[in-house]
């Protein structure tokens, strides 16, 4: 489950809940495309903005509509108590695995983060993916801490925030991390712009934002890398450079993929929870142009 392409769909929202019809549509597109797993309620899935009931509902809908594709469900929250409740909800919905970030309000110490994973992993009956995303959690893992957490029961994968740009440095980075974690724990790259480089450098998985909206495109990159055709994987990724530039310009991928989903009429606008706003005006027109070029009719 924690290898290949793990596609992270948006959770489109309405004022009074999630947009169930649109969410099911997004999940079903991933199943048809043949992704290796579906990651719901990650950052792209807006987990941090949803109520417990909304998260339980999204988890259930994803499992119900994923067919035989394994579903990984995000259980992150600020408080350990709430994470344990969300873990129970996810498992009750039929999660095949869970994803946990050290979300913070007060900055967390290394000791507090280790204690968090120790407590949660001891309560789980499904495997866990450690979600390392300093851009949103404001917590930076050391490799030593990754090693200690990866040795805990149930820990099966680490979602890393990215890899260095050059192939040699990327390979060195993945090798260094793999040296301190047990061999059964996989490493998955995120930060879509770095995914081809990460897969070519030995990452076992790609935890993918664009995979949640453009699964065929993300699969082509993943399968090329898995077949050892690294140059082709990189070439396909380079074709998406206009998208990577928009991600970079708009402080990450979320607002761009949400706007893309709106422009492609896969979700109703607005699909993001306020105060978050999708791209407007000139930025939105630029995205529409990029989408036109990337998805020839």
Interface contacts to a second copy, rule CB under 8 A: 15, 43, 48-49, 78-81, 102-103, 105-109, 111-113, 115-116, 119, 135-136, 138, 251-252, 254-255, 273-277
Which helix (H) or strand (E) segment holds residue 119: the answer is helix 110-123
185: how many CB neighbours lie within 10 A of its CB?
23
131 is catalytic: yes
Least separation in angstroms between residue 164's CB and a second copy is 23
Radius of gyration of the chain (CA): 18
Contacts of 1 (CB under 8 A, 6+ apart): 36, 37, 70, 72, 96, 97, 127, 156
List the beta bridge partners of residue 164: none
Q: Which is nearer to a second copy, 51 or 295 (CB)?
A: 51
The DSSP line for 5-56 is EEE-----EETTEE-HHHHHHHHHHHHHHT-SEEEESSTTTTGGGS-HHHHH
Q: Which is nearer to a second copy, 109 or 166 (CB)?
A: 109
Q: Which is nearer to a second copy, 175 or 277 (CB)?
A: 277
Tokens of 47: 């987990």
Which helix (H) or strand (E) segment holds residue 287: the answer is helix 281-294
Distance CA 232, CA 262 (A): 30
Active-site residue, from 47, 159, 178, 207: 159
Q: Which is nearer to a second copy, 49 or 171 (CB)?
A: 49
Tokens of 84: 């344990």
Contacts of 184 (CB under 8 A, 6+ apart): 156
Which helix (H) or strand (E) segment holds residue 257: the answer is helix 254-263
Least separation in angstroms between residue 297's CB and a second copy is 32
SS3 at position 103 = coil
Q: First and final CA of the chain: distance in angstroms?
A: 33
Distance CA 84, CA 90 (A): 10
Would the annotation count 136 as a binding residue?
no
178 is catalytic: no
Least separation in angstroms between residue 173's CB and a second copy is 24
Q: Which is nearer to a second copy, 174 or 258 (CB)?
A: 258
Q: Which is nearer to a second copy, 69 or 271 (CB)?
A: 271
Least separation in angstroms between residue 13's CB and a second copy is 9
Active-site residue, from 47, 114, 117, 131: 131
Q: What is the dihedral sign for C-alpha 77, 25, 211, 156?
A: positive
Q: Which residues line the annotated binding site?
A: 44
So which residues are the catalytic ones? Answer: 131, 159
Q: Which residues line the annotated binding site for pyruvate?
A: 44
């Amino acid at each position: 489950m924690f290898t290949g392409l793990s596609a992270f769909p948006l959770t489109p929202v309405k004022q009074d809940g999630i947009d169930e019809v649109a969410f099911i549509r997004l999940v079903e597109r991933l199943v048809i495309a043949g992704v290796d797993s579906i990651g719901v309620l990650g950052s792209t899935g807006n987990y941090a903005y949803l109520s417990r009931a909304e998260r339980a509902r999204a988890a259930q809908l994803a499992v119900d509509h994923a067919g035989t594709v394994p579903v990984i469900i995000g259980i992150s929250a600020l408080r350990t108590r709430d994470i344990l409740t969300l873990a129970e909800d996810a498992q009750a919905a039929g999660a095949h695995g869970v994803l946990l970030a050290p979300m913070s309000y007060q900055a967390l110490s290394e000791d507090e983060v280790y204690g968090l994973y120790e407590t949660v992993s001891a309560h789980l009956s499904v495997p866990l993916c450690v979600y390392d995303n300093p851009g949103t959690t404001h917590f930076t893992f050391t490799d030593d801490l990754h090693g200690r957490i990866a040795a805990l029961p149930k820990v099966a994968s680490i979602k890393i925030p990215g890899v260095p740009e050059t192939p040699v440095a990327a390979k060195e980075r993945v090798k260094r991390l793999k040296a301190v974690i047990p061999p059964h724990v996989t490493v998955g790259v995120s930060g879509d712009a770095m995914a081809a480089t990460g897969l070519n450098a030995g990452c076992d998985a790609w935890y993918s934002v664009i995979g949640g909206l453009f699964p065929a495109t993300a699969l082509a990159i993943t399968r090329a890398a898995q077949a050892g055709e690294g140059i082709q994987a990189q070439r396909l990724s380079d074709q998406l450079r206009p998208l990577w530039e928009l991600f970079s310009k708009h402080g990450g991928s979320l607002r761009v993929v949400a706007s893309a989903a709106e422009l492609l009429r896969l979700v109703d606008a607005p699909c993001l929870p306020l105060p978050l706003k999708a791209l407007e005006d000139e930025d939105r027109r630029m995205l529409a142009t990029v989408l036109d070029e990337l998805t020839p009719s």
